[in-house]
Amino acid sequence: MELLEEKVHLWIESARFVKAKPGVYIFYDRKLDAIYIGESDNLQAQFAKYLDTDFEGDECKKKIHTYQRTFVANPKEKKKQLLEDYKAKHGKLPSCNVESDVLAC
């Protein structure tokens, strides 16, 4: 289930081409279930880090198949809103997020 209105992108094919802007992103598994909601002041640098490490030691994020992203001026606030909306609708956070993700925003 897509959480943003933006296009869904295949992870490996397009992640390197994300612009160096602040924004939020949502990772999905093969069934299009949201598994992680994140934010960064520089999506290009964040995605490059993920691609370079191949989520070494993070079995949860190794399930990423597709993603959505949107550029926003205040990514922390948008992430908090998305996490709260997701939890209200599903009764829990996405499987790779933890409760402290909400508090950190």
| Euclidean distance between CA atoms 83 and 101, whole angstroms | 8
Kindly tell me if the per-residue pLDDT of 20 is higher than 90. yes
The predicted structure's pLDDT at residue 1 = 62
Cβ(93)–Cβ(87) below 8 Å: yes
Q: Assign residue 38 a region (left: φ > 0; alpha: ψ between -120 and 50; beta: otherwise).
A: beta
Structure tokens that stand for 94 in this block: 């996405």
What pLDDT, in 10s, does the model give residues 30-86?
A: 999 999 999 999 999 999 988 888 777 888 878 999 999 999 999 999 999 999 999
Please report, for the chain, the start and end positions of each structural domain, with discontinuous segments joined by +.
Answer: 9-103
Model confidence at 105, pLDDT cuts 50, 70, 90, reads: low
pLDDT classification of 94: cutoffs 50, 70, 90: very high
Per-residue confidence (pLDDT) for residue 62, from 0 to 100:
85
CATH number of this structure's domain 9-103:
3.40.1440.10
Q: What is the pTM of this model?
A: 0.87
Q: Are the beta carbons of 3 and 24 closer than 8 angstroms? A: no
